[in-house]
Structure 1
Amino acid sequence: MTPTIARAWAVARRDGMVLGFTDHDRTLMFEGIVFRPDSGLSARAVVQSVGLSVDNSEAVGALSDTAITERDVMAGRWDGADVRLWEVDWTDTGNRHLIFRGHLGEVVRSGAAFRAELRGLSEPLNKAQGRVYHPHCAAALGDGQCRFDLTRAGYWAEGVIEMVEDGQRLVLSGVDGHDPGWFEHGQLMMRLGAAEGLSGLVKADRPLPGARREVELWTALGIGPAAGDRVRLIAGCDRRSETCRMKFLNHLNFRGFPHLPPEDWLIAPKVNR
């Protein structure tokens, strides 16, 4: 490697924000991106191999108010961000070579810094391929297979947070007219407040007197909601055939196999007749 070679990173979040970083001591610019030397991002050596094995590395950096902030890390806004890494001649940025393309894994905070796994383009090859035959539906509510319209009246509701306990149990006002458990297995989406844009999975919900509702999340949001924040609740689906037919009236799009025999059928004693 010649003395004029530096490394430059471009990280593009899913919301469209793009930031550039470099280990050079001066700002570089190419492909319309400004690569700053003072943002505190660095990485270990990229491990690459011939064939279809997964490239891997790890990015580390310092949290700052101008680049990667603690609030964004805790909110998960950097998770899954697209990453490109070049070796570039800082005397002539046109002389560069792309050596890595992939995305960030989960970004976690470690003191005043962050740490994130870099996953190469071959990472999806680790995922199971093909269809799973199971009594429960394999589709996600509202996706291209399910085709259910989540904007239909009665299947969503908006309310305002009255109280938050432990970051997971919320009391909402303005939510009325839904059966107990209607939103279990569904989503809570933050519409206004510091946590706007974040969402969590609903573990349990029950109506309270006065058009109020208590909702419990499986895990707390990365940024804690506060009283006065506005939220939207999406009806939940437990992926059972009965739920699809009776609650959503969508059984034609059910993507499960409800008539499969149970697992213990394989080991049950056979009776000769």
Structure 2
Amino acid sequence: MSFLDKPLTTTAFCWRLERRDGVTIGFTTHDRALTIGGLVYRAAPGMLPSSISQTDGFDAASLDVEGASTSAAISGRDLMAGRWDGAAVTIFLVDWEDPDGAQVPLARGELGDVSMRGNGFSAELRGPTAALDRPVVEQTSPECRARLGDKRCRVDMGPRVRVTRIAAVVAEEVVDVAEAAVGENVYAYGRLRWLSGANSGLESGVMASGGLRLTLREPPPFTPSAGDLVEIGEGCDKRVSTCAGRFGNVLNFRGEPHLPGMDLLTRYPGA
């Protein structure tokens, strides 16, 4: 990198953050905004990384990111709502005299635990090797470990997902939708994705449903309004009886309902 050999330094740190819903922003420690690859990296001197070290081992590397929380960039409400959870992060070094030139990659990964501190925030950056900490073999369970409609479950979710609108907000965690599938608790254990309104880009778990009424597991981070566009998907309680009776998919059931568990040790005759 020729710009690293200059007698006077012209380097600047750059941060690229891409949320799971596609929203992408950039920051730089330079005193002016830089345009790199069509993305404007805004001057953010309050964004400070911890020391960055790179090794050739397989230890899970992580570093802390601290910065000021502003409504124009990363607001505290969005952080606490989970909009930035799992966001992809890339940190690199550039020559601010030629920002579209060579780059020195420093770290990449995804945002982990986020905590608020006054008017700022602190976030952990989990590197690619953090995936090595995940269990290699699944534990047994009487309930299915697949998610309804994923590649292991294989249930076709096309006819079980629909886009509709919020017809009325009954309570903090209870809403009525304009259209829904017929049946009791069809959407229980399912997901509601907010496609517009204050909660756009977020998801809410559904605890129960009946007709056009959905009861969410917890109130959404922001107050919804009638007319908000949402996507609702059917859910599954992950029991083998539901898998067989409702979905006819017991061949793909990813659980061990008949395997004796630890409660076998506490059984006694006549119990």
TM-score (norm 2): 0.80
The AA in structure 2 aligned to 1:205 is S
Contact map agreement 1:164 1:227 (CA 8 A) in 2: no
Give the alignment partner of residue 51 of structure 2, picking from 45, 48, 69.
Answer: 45
Point out where structure 2 has 5 or more consecutive residues left out of the alignment: none
1:168 is matched with 173
Give the alignment partner of residue 178 of structure 1, picking from 160, 183, 187.
Answer: 183
The AA in structure 1 aligned to 2:65 is A
Q: Work out the CA distance in 2 between the residues paired with 1:158 and 1:8.
A: 40
The AA in structure 2 aligned to 1:143 is D
Please report how far the alpha carbon of residue 129 of structure 1 lies from its aligned counterpart in structure 2 after TM superposition. 1.2
2:126 is matched with 119
> Using a 3 Å threshold, how does the CA distance of structure 1 residues 35 and 172 change in structure 2: closer, same or farther?
closer
Q: CA offsets per residue over residues 85-120 of structure 1, 9 Å max, x none?
A: 123343455454211111112445555433322111
2:221 is matched with 222
Mapping 1:1-273, distance limit 5 Å? 3-38=9-44, 40-46=46-52, 48-70=54-76, 72-91=78-97, 93=99, 94=101, 96-152=103-159, 158=164, 160-165=166-171, 167-172=172-177, 174-175=179-180, 177-179=182-184, 181-207=185-211, 212-213=212-213, 215-266=214-265
Contact map agreement 1:87 1:97 (CA 8 A) in 2: yes
Point out where structure 1 has 5 or more consecutive residues left out of the alignment: none
Contact map agreement 1:41 1:60 (CA 8 A) in 2: yes
By percentage of residues, which structure has more helix? Answer: 2
How high is the sequence identity, in percent, across the aligned residues? 37
> Using a 3 Å threshold, how does the CA distance of structure 1 residues 98 and 156 change in structure 2: closer, same or farther?
closer
- Cα RMSD between the aligned structures? 3.1
> Using a 3 Å threshold, how does the CA distance of structure 1 residues 194 and 151 change in structure 2: closer, same or farther?
same
TM-score (norm 1): 0.80
The AA in structure 1 aligned to 2:137 is G
Q: Work out the CA distance in 2 between the residues paired with 1:105 and 1:247.
A: 37
> Using a 3 Å threshold, how does the CA distance of structure 1 residues 175 and 77 change in structure 2: closer, same or farther?
same
How many matched pairs? 262
